[in-house]
Structure 1
Amino acid sequence: MIITRLTGRLANQMFQYAIGRALSIKNNAEFKLDLYSFKEPPYWPYTINRFNIIINPAEQKEIRWFKKYHWKKGKFWFWYNRTIADRKRYADERQFHFESWILTLKDPVYLDGNWQSEKYFKDVEDVIRKDFSLRNPLSEQSKIFEKQIGGVEAVSLHVRRDEMVSNKRINDWHGVCSVEYYNQAIAEIAKRVKHPHFFLFSDDPTWTKENIKPPLPATYMPYNADHPEEDLYLMSKCKHHIIANSTFSWWGAWLNTNKNKIVIAPKKWFNTPKMNTQDIIPETWIRI
């Protein structure tokens, strides 16, 4: 049995699901989801179920069995749970970058972390893409945008602000991408793509329209707060991407199956320099 703990918003849930799914396939093991964090503050919305994922909730008694390995005290148990990878039961993420030992774990395992790198699930990417297809039909408005995106050389551009700006603590360590970054990324796309048409997605469309102004055809998308999975789908239908330092637009770009896609990503993912983000951006993407 492989259990993965889901927490945070949609894009975080997707990374957590993807590593658990990959490890369950590798081990030919049953795959379950720990959904209990959605019943606790800050009550993140459980939205990953809007995709065609495996929904197999773990029971409390199963979760407690795994957590006993995490809660045990003493030097021996610390050594046992941290060094014997093939017998490890409770796998908590030690650092932000890719940890290859995770992929050596044997059934049964409980996964607790963010796991933000495609290296954890690259070997089963076709399965992950299929799982992250929409469960329900698009809204009529999204169908109109999908048709528009399909008729041009579409480039998604994502601006994330929300609590990254309003919450000083989050802003200090995470931060947001600058207008200069977006202008450089737009210029880079213009050099590489003939007749691009930009589709700008943001949780702050007013600010985006006032500050990000591509000198090329552009469509400012309405913020679909109630159905983020539809915005993610529409992003993935664009041919190229300019992403923010955000896992949401990361997934929008990654789910695009265009083999010739150009993805521009920020070199600086966090304000905090001690965070090692070398593995979050796939090697074929361009960092500026």
Structure 2
Amino acid sequence: MIITKIIGGLGNQLFQYAAGRAMAINNRTELLLDITPFKEYKLHKYSLMHFNINENFPQPKHISRFLPTGRKRFFRRFSFFPQKSSSYICEQGMGFHPEIAGLKKNEFYLDGFWQSEKYFLSIAPLIRNEFKIITPANTANLLAAEKINACNSVSLHIRRMDYVNNADTNLIHGLCSMSYYNQAVFYILNTIPDANFFIFSDDIDWAKQNLKISSPCTFIDFNNADTNYEDLRLMSQCRHNIIANSSFSWWGAWLNDNPGK
């Protein structure tokens, strides 16, 4: 079995699942999702139950085989920690680690974000199928989807809240500037003059006040943190995507199956 730790926002959770799924298939074993970190982590909620995946969870005794002291902070200092026939693998730095992706081992625990398509590119069609959202959309989202599918739709995602309010997060990620969005919109309109923009943001009021686009715009203001998978579904249905420096909107664009996006 391979256990992958699930933590962070929805975009992070999708990367963690996808990488773990590919490694489990590569080693012909099952994937288990460790969601116990959400007992202490309150910034986001576990959200993968809304997707077309098989959710299998490890028992505490399974996790303890990889973390024998029960103190995860200690083991985060190690990138590879052998424990009998099991291993604890902690991501060291961002980027793709081919030595981990190609690891041949029946049992290990993955602790990281694994934010590279290279981890799961070999099973991309499977991931696209498993990341279909199975929770039925409500009326507002169904109407938005109809509008999106009836025009040259372009999603535009602005991420602000934790990037603005958390100094450490802002230091790491920064914010996409208005210049970035203005240039992106200019590029889109030069290519697609009849583009219709659909605006997504975790600070939609700020977006309404600061985003100035002369073309038709629809602000998706009826979803919230608990239903952000609905935003993801709508973004993936748009024909084109303007993304933030965010794994959330990255997935919205990746799941868009328009070959000309």
TM-score w.r.t. the length of structure 1 is: 0.82
Structure-2 separation of matches of 1:26 and 1:195? 45
Query: Number of residues paired by the alignment?
Result: 251
Matches within 5 A, 1:1-288: 1-42=1-42, 44-68=44-68, 81=80, 89-106=87-104, 107-225=106-224, 226-261=226-261
String of CA shifts for 1:99-158, please: whole Å, max 9, x gaps: 111122122121100000111001101111111111221111100000000000000000
Structure-2 separation of matches of 1:88 and 1:98? 22
Structure-2 separation of matches of 1:208 and 1:43? 22
Structure-2 separation of matches of 1:148 and 1:168? 38
Structure-2 separation of matches of 1:109 and 1:48? 21
Structure-2 separation of matches of 1:157 and 1:97? 25
**Contact conserved, 1:2 with 1:20, CA < 8 A, in 2?**
yes
Structure-1 separation of matches of 2:8 and 2:107? 24
Counterpart amino acid of residue 189 in structure 1: I
Q: Secondary structure at the match of 2:214?
A: coil
Counterpart amino acid of residue 103 in structure 1: A
Once the two structures are overlaid, the 10-residue window that deviates more, 203-212 or 110-119, is: 203-212
Runs (5+) with no aligned partner, structure 1 = 72-77, 262-288
Counterpart amino acid of residue 161 in structure 1: R
Runs (5+) with no aligned partner, structure 2 = 72-77
Once the two structures are overlaid, the 10-residue window that deviates more, 211-220 or 234-243, is: 211-220
Counterpart amino acid of residue 254 in structure 2: W
String of CA shifts for 1:179-227, please: whole Å, max 9, x gaps: 1100001011112224111101011111111211122111111151131
Quote the sequence identity (%).
44
How far did residue 43 of structure 1 move?
6.0
Once the two structures are overlaid, the 10-residue window that deviates more, 60-69 or 105-114, is: 60-69
**Contact conserved, 1:156 with 1:235, CA < 8 A, in 2?**
yes
String of CA shifts for 1:5-54, please: whole Å, max 9, x gaps: 00011111110000011111111111111111011233631111111111
Q: Secondary structure at the match of 2:67?
A: helix
Judged with a 3 Å threshold, the aligned counterparts in structure 2 of structure 1 residues 43 and 148 are, in CA distance, closer, same or farther, namely closer
Across the aligned residues of Structure 1 and Structure 2, the Cα RMSD in angstroms comes to 2.0
**Contact conserved, 1:201 with 1:223, CA < 8 A, in 2?**
no
Structure-1 separation of matches of 2:165 and 2:68? 38
Structure-2 separation of matches of 1:111 and 1:29? 14
**Contact conserved, 2:64 with 2:70, CA < 8 A, in 1?**
no
Judged with a 3 Å threshold, the aligned counterparts in structure 2 of structure 1 residues 142 and 243 are, in CA distance, closer, same or farther, namely same
Structure-2 separation of matches of 1:238 and 1:88? 43
Counterpart amino acid of residue 102 in structure 1: I
String of CA shifts for 1:60-117, please: whole Å, max 9, x gaps: 111111224998xxxxxx79x37x9xx8721110110111111221221211000001
Structure-2 separation of matches of 1:258 and 1:11? 20
Structure-2 separation of matches of 1:217 and 1:155? 10
**Contact conserved, 1:6 with 1:16, CA < 8 A, in 2?**
yes
TM-score w.r.t. the length of structure 2 is: 0.90
Name 1:276's counterpart in structure 2.
none
How far did residue 171 of structure 1 move?
2.0
